[in-house]
Amino acid sequence: MKLDYRAKSRSQNQLGCIQRPREFSKPNCSGTCSKTRAVKLSFLLAMLLSGSGCTAFLAPRDPFPVTPPGPPLESNVPRELDKVTLPRYVIEPPDILLIEGVKLVPKSPHKIETFDVLLVRITGALPEQPINDAYSVDADGSINLGPSYGRVKVVGETIEESEAKIRTHLAKVLTNVEVSVSLISSSGAQQITGQHLVGPDGRVNLGTYGSVYVAGATLEQAREAVEQQLELKLDDPEVFVDMLAYNSKVYYVITQGGGIGDNVFRGPITGNETVLDAVATIGGLSQFSSSRLWIARPAPNGTGCEQILPVDWNDITRGASTATNYQIMPGDRLFIAADRLATLDATLAKVMQPIERSLGVVSLATSTINRILRIGLGNTF
């Protein structure tokens, strides 16, 4: 009796016999598979070659600048390598001016004053004691002609009157005396030449010649104003005016303190500062500062033209980009934002400190009460 093959195989499987796997017919892919493998290898090789290129072995993984070189090309904001010269300097308090007298001749008739310098020439003087020299008017208003001639008081006299007075004085000792007196320098010139601070009222003090209002004027206009004031007492005066200290034009660097207060640095404007220069004056970014910076540029009141110029610190420092390394202008505020983690830490500290102190007081009070209650019980701890 013949058994069915399928039934026999099923019975063998039930007895634990190993079933032979079925044999499937293999497709003929000798040509197609070879082409597929070649395409894959070519694509992989192309990817490797394009990834390597001419890159240096130690090239940075994140080259800078990482942002476009903004602002746009039509922007006229001055920056590094594209700076502008500032407008004519306008004098304001508390600038310091240097004023020097070029020509300071008193008007005739000049009244001789204390500390004036006179040139006195005498003919007919003693051969061993000639008089031909400059003499300063002393504090008592007299000039000293020497031990043989004595002193002559000339303060308050004109040049002609002083000549007659000296001639009369020397006639007591000499005969046939001729006297010549001329003014070398006036004591008023000493009050003009030197440093002059522009006061809060915008004026500079010229001593006995009065004061001059120079606030809002250029150097040329200030020179004309000073000479016009001196003409009241001097004959066609000429002076030289220059800036000694530029104190009125400044910029500010504001560093946010991360919740513990902001710091403000005030720096003078010299006309060549950039963002990098301003940060260098404060010693760089602190541990509380982030790399988020911007310039707040003010505008006249009511115009509404204030500018906010973002600064990319990483591009400036790591990539030598000049796009946002702006030129600092008078009145600019360079704001350096605080690090967010430092701000969070400071905020948590400000919130938790009162709670910690309160808990500390409660703990101390509880411990003190327990000690008091345990007095006399032996163990107070």
What confidence tens digit (pLDDT) does each residue in 352-370 have?
Answer: 888 888 888 888 888 888 8
Q: What is the pLDDT of residue 361?
A: 86
Return the structure tokens found at 76.
């006229």
Is pLDDT above 60 for 70?
no
- How many angstroms separate the CA atoms of 352 and 358, rounded? 10
Res 331: pLDDT: 94
pLDDT at 174 over 60: yes
Buried b (16+ CB within 10 A) or exposed e, 128-163: eeebeeebebeeebbbebeeebeebbbbebebeebb
Two structure tokens written together for 279: 């940060």
Q: Where are the beta strands (DSSP E) in the chain?
A: 96-103, 117-123, 132-136, 142-144, 151-153, 178-185, 194-197, 203-205, 211-213, 238-245, 250-255, 263-268, 289-297, 307-312, 333-338
Please report the pLDDT score of residue 63 as a whole number. Answer: 52
Output 348 or 218, whichever has higher pLDDT. Answer: 218
Mean pLDDT computed over 93-122? 90
pLDDT more than 70, % of the chain: 79
Mean pLDDT, all residues of the chain? 82
CA dihedral 230, 234, 236, 241 (to 10 degrees): -40
Evaluate if residue 198 carries a pLDDT over 60: yes
Report the pLDDT value the prediction gives residue 2, as an integer from 0 to 100: 43
- Per-residue pLDDT at 91 exceeds 80: yes
In order, the DSSP letters of 240-291 are EEEEEE--S-EEEEEE--SSS--EEEEEE--S--BHHHHHHHTTS--TTEEE
From the CB of residue 167, how many other CB atoms can be counted at a distance below 10 Å?
16
- Integer angstrom CA distances of residue 119 from 107, 186, 350: 18, 12, 78
Domains, the chain, in order of start with CATH, read 96-105+189-245 (3.30.1950.10), 117-185 (3.30.1950.10), 250-338 (3.10.560.10)
Residue 221 has a pLDDT of: 96
Residue 17: per-residue pLDDT: 40
Q: 27-31, 121-125, 213-217, 286-290: which range is least confident on average?
A: 27-31
Report the predicted TM-score, pTM, of the whole model to 2 decimal places.
0.62
pLDDT above 90: residue 335: yes
Q: Mean pLDDT check: name the lowest of 52-61, 135-144, 245-254.
A: 52-61
Higher-confidence residue of 44 and 182: namely 182
